[in-house]
Structure 1
Amino acid sequence: MIDMAVLQWNPDSGVYELREATITTLTDVEAMRGEAATPIGNAEIIVDGGRLAHVETEKQFRDAVLEDAGSPVEVQFLEQDGVLYPADFHSLNLATAYYNFEQARLYALARGLAPEKLRGAPFYYFPDVHLQGADPGRQVDNAGWFPLLRSFLLYPFDRLQEVPLAMNQGVVAHEYGHGIFHAEVFDGSWFPAYSVDWCPTGRCAQQAGYRMVGIIEEGFADAWAVGVTGDPRFTHHSLSMLGDSRDPDRFVRKRHCYSQSAYETELARTAPLSEADQDRYWSRRQYEVGTVLAGALYRAARDEGTSYDQVMDTLLRSYRASGSRSLGAVLESDRDGSIFGSFRIVARAVIDAAGDEPTRRALCAAWMDRLALTAAELEGLCDDVAANGECG
């Protein structure tokens, strides 16, 4: 165990502050490497069609996009009274990032994640990333899970002048939530089979299932972030321009209520758009609809007899462990995306994974309300429960 100064949110003062923390999983302090994460510096990643034209395997993909695979980072510290203090900005950023990954991992392990999943997962620190079709120049002001490299990306910051994303524990936990989803629902596959089955020509005939994957990933990743931090407004500390749009707690009907019919209407309205315009529309909208799902989970956790941790235990089981109704099982059995594009299927997977009656009832009440579902649609899981009635 190592005592180290990192930057963390203080809910009492309402600001991020330097504070001492005990890090338990480091194996190499100077390289900030350990069971929670493996930082890689000085990498250059280039993703474009020309490089990927003949890629068929994971190794070929890595060889094609990693112009420079990078190298271990080096962190500098000053020691005082047994505590390590980062000596410069990048050392503080890396130390804080590692601590944030460790907290996300410890929370996931407590919820039931198998220890071998995401152990020592790489994160590319301030990589030089160029994406075909994106803005010219390298990518900045973002953080992400890059499933094709089974890695996290912590980009350089440029225009964002608030708390750096790597220092925002909720942002790192959100990305770790994506990693959990990939490890469980996609069974760790570098290129999930649904991408080929549903979109054999590169364009997906059944948009409902394809877009639903993005919606539930973003919503559930936010739920993981809230679980790790206990802070439903974690995005606000680094991305204040979002306002309360991602807050699962403060109920706003327009933000927290949705339905299958509304989803199908949106899909029909955007269908005539070009593929690029559809992608642009849903790249924003998936966060907004995802907030409906995160809000339903948060609302369920407020009911008597359950807790947020119990709700998140249930969510993790719903990914694969709960059996034939789990999200992973449904995804694998759906050959064209026509089944997975239903909120009824998503809600059924989560509720069916509940390990106790209070949590089941709370999830029924919240999901039926927030997504306008009936007990009959949930196939006997919620016949004894009424919706909360907040969405009307």
Structure 2
Amino acid sequence: MLRTVTTAAVGLGLLASGCAPDSEAPVKVSVLSRSSNGQYVPTQVELTTIEDIVGLKGTVGDLQGGARIVIDPNDPALQNATTDTVADVLLKNKGHDVKASYISQKDERTGEDVLWPADFHSWNMVTSYYNLERANEYFRTVADVKVASFEPSPTLYYFPDFIQAQLGKEPLRDNALFYPVLQSFLVLPFDQIQRAPLPLNAGVMAHEYSHLVFNRLAYATQALPVSLTVWSSESPSQGANVLKAFDEGLADYHAYGATCRSVSGCDPRFMAPSFDGGPFSAVTDARDLSRGDRCMSALLYTRVQQQDVGTFTADGAEYQVGTILASALYQAGRSTGQEAQLQRDIVSAYYDTDPAKPGIYQYTQMVLGDQSQFSLAVPAAAIISHISDLELRKAVCNELMDHLQIPRELLLGDNLCPASAAGGTTCPSIFQ
């Protein structure tokens, strides 16, 4: 059904101007949302954080169209940029306010006015905002992230020209991402992904929103995180490799958690609506959290320790390690029936000044001068130390020891794994 809507509406024009309906929240509007049978259908929702329904601005995001972002290592301005100026250098055109168009219709059941987007881009944009709002609500309520951590609200650049000169001169397509240098989201034009463009996929948007939360807490809202910047300049780059892998794995796990609050239910294959049946179908299986047989290989373990970050990420090794992590957490949460508690405990481990149980950010600062001390066991220990329930803590310990092959002795201790945690039997040891 989504393809039908797309084909019919795209000819109506990009960012067409419309009337100016009342923007005072809550605003009843139709979005394209996944139903209980897995289809994307027009769905009436309430936007509770919106401040400008035409310009799609609110406390969770501000949509901007027409931006141009260019990453060119040979750009002299970029070579001379500082932390304070790099965003301005990359943002060649800041774009403009979007203008969504709507048709107001009466809801036959309630008699209330409901705004219906009048063209495809209005559907796409308002659904993008709604999915940001859903992700924000998940992190506020389930993960217990304080409102102050979301301030200032991020910009969402809608269909920008995003050019990475090292990859070519043409703008990239078929992606949605959180870009920390700009502290913003980018929703790129779609080309090959037609089944469910990424901004319509609430799980994908929750994944990207998780990166924002990780940046705000585990990186202390640094546009250029000091730990990544310092460690990425060295070889090998174990610390940078571990941070990237945990950032990706935890984003997948939180995206899964966010789907559990939808009418379609918990979905460990949340990427499937967008990627199945197209040129990127393999992504769904590669990132399926429900597979319990994912194991760290000796080669991948060695790559984490010994490769520079450029080589490590060139073929997506951070996603491979991240998927193992996400799957291990999925198994632990499901086996104990405490998924929401685990999701909350994980986020509480991002930033914590308590010396008895430091957060991930605090651990990075402790070993900033020697990233060889920031192994897979370190952020794992930060998470484990923030799990108060003994049964859940033991389950997480066993899964991480088993699937990530973290040596048991590195996870035992005060506030860490209990002595009864012995790992699992799913994965063969890579240390024999």
Identify whether the pair has TM-score above 0.5, normalized to the shorter chain: yes
CA contact (8 A) 1:197 1:336 kept: no
Matched, 1:358 2:391: yes
User: Which position in structure 1 is the counterpart of 2:371?
Assistant: 337
**When the two structures are superposed, what TM-score results if normalisation uses the length of structure 1?**
0.90
CA distance in 2, matches of 1:84, 1:236: 29
Match of 1:19 among 43, 49, 58: 43
Residue 224 of structure 1 is matched in structure 2 by: 254
Alignment of 1:228-377 (within 5 A): 228-229=258-259, 230-240=266-276, 241=281, 242-251=283-292, 253=293, 256-258=294-296, 261-266=298-303, 278-281=312-315, 284-304=316-336, 306-321=337-352, 323-324=354-355, 325-334=358-367, 335-340=369-374, 342-377=375-410
Question: Which of the residues 400, 409, 412 maps onto 1:379?
Answer: 412
Describe the SS at the equivalent of 2:230. helix
Shift, 1:113, TM fit: 1.1
Which residue in 1 is equivalent to 2:79? 53
Deviations 1:100-149 (A, max 9, x none): 00010011111121202234211100001111201331111111111111
What is the CA distance between 1:262 and its match in structure 2?
Answer: 4.1
Aligned to 1:155: 188
* Aligned-partner Cα distance in 2 for 1:317–1:268: 26
> Secondary structure of 1:338's partner?
helix
- 2 CA distance for matches of 1:193 and 1:268? 20
Q: TM-score, normalised by structure 2?
A: 0.82
Instruction: Rate the CA distance shift 1:321–1:237 in 2: closer, same or farther, 3 A.
Output: same
Q: Secondary structure at the match of 1:292?
A: helix
Comparing 376-385 with 184-193, greater Cα deviation is found at 376-385
Task: Give, in angstroms, the shift of residue 226 of structure 1.
Answer: 0.5
Q: 2:153 aligned with 1:116, yes or no? A: no
Structure 2: state its 5+ residue gaps. 1-25, 107-112, 260-265
Unaligned runs of 5+ in 1: none
Q: Percent identical across equivalent pairs? A: 31
After alignment, is 352-361 or 40-49 more displaced? 352-361
Q: Which amino acid in the other structure matches residue 320 of structure 2? A: E
8 Å CA contact retained: 2:235, 2:307: no
1:79 corresponds to 2:79: no
Q: What is the CA distance between 1:32 and its match in structure 2?
A: 1.2
CA distance in 2, matches of 1:263, 1:157: 32
Equivalent residues of 2:238, 2:306 under 8 A apart: no
- Work out the CA distance in 2 between the residues paired with 1:116 and 1:322: 17
Q: In structure 2, do the counterparts of structure 1 residues 278 and 352 end up closer, same or farther at CA, with 3 Å as the change threshold? A: closer
Q: Look at both structures and tell me which one has the larger radius of gyration over its CA atoms.
A: 2
Report the residue type matching 1:369 in the other structure: D
